[in-house]
Amino acid sequence: MNREIILASSSPRRVELLKQIGLPFRVFCCEVDETPPPGLNPGQLVELLAERKAAGIAGKVDRGIVLGADTVVVCQGQLLGKPLDAEDAARMLGKLQGGAHEVYTGVALVEAESGRRSVTHEKTVVYFRPLGENEIRRYAATGEPLDKAGAYAVQGLAAVFIHRLEGCYTNVVGLPLARLAVMLKEFGYEVL
């Protein structure tokens, strides 16, 4: 019998992805210091934050495998987090339009009983088609981009902006499922 999976995230997208593959889990999250030390590259950053989230919850439960994740968007070397408002979302989308950017998601598993850990990240390159200013403003006004790194949802209305992906689609949504399945297997947990 598989052990309990505990998702250390309140992200509705991560919840939906885990439900999509039929993984039984519960959500348990707490505030974690997301201030990174200086000098980390995007892969190191998302791994550190994912591990902080998973370890924070693993220290509060007796058993189970805790899953932490963190996603950032990088455009021309600049990290794009969640926009402050529609204006900030429009600014970010203006940077992304007509070019390529990277999406990094760190994934960490921490076994509560032993403290055993596995931490890695996935990178996907996303290509946006050229966008007009009105198109950007209309999308920003929908509210969809406001709680998303990089100010867009690949699984939402912004799907019409993306003409190509190189890498894992679910990574762009917020959790690379193929990578997660391999990591869980290392802990003796079979997804299928």
Q: Computed from CA positions of residues 58, 150, 172, 23, in that sequence, does the dihedral angle turn out positive or negative?
A: positive
Q: Are 100 and 124 in contact (CB under 8 A)?
A: no
Known catalytic residue at 33: no
* Residue at 36: amino acid letter: P
73: burial class by Cβ within 10 Å (0-12, 13-18, 19+)?
Answer: buried
Side-chain half-sphere of 186: how many Cα atoms within 13 Å? Answer: 15
CB atoms within 10 A of CB 15: 16
- DSSP per position, 95-157: HHTTSEEEEEEEEEEEETTT--EEEEEEEEEEEEPP--HHHHHHHHHTSGGGGSGGG--TTTG
Give me the catalytic one of 33, 62, 70, 88.
Answer: 70
Active site residues per annotation:
70
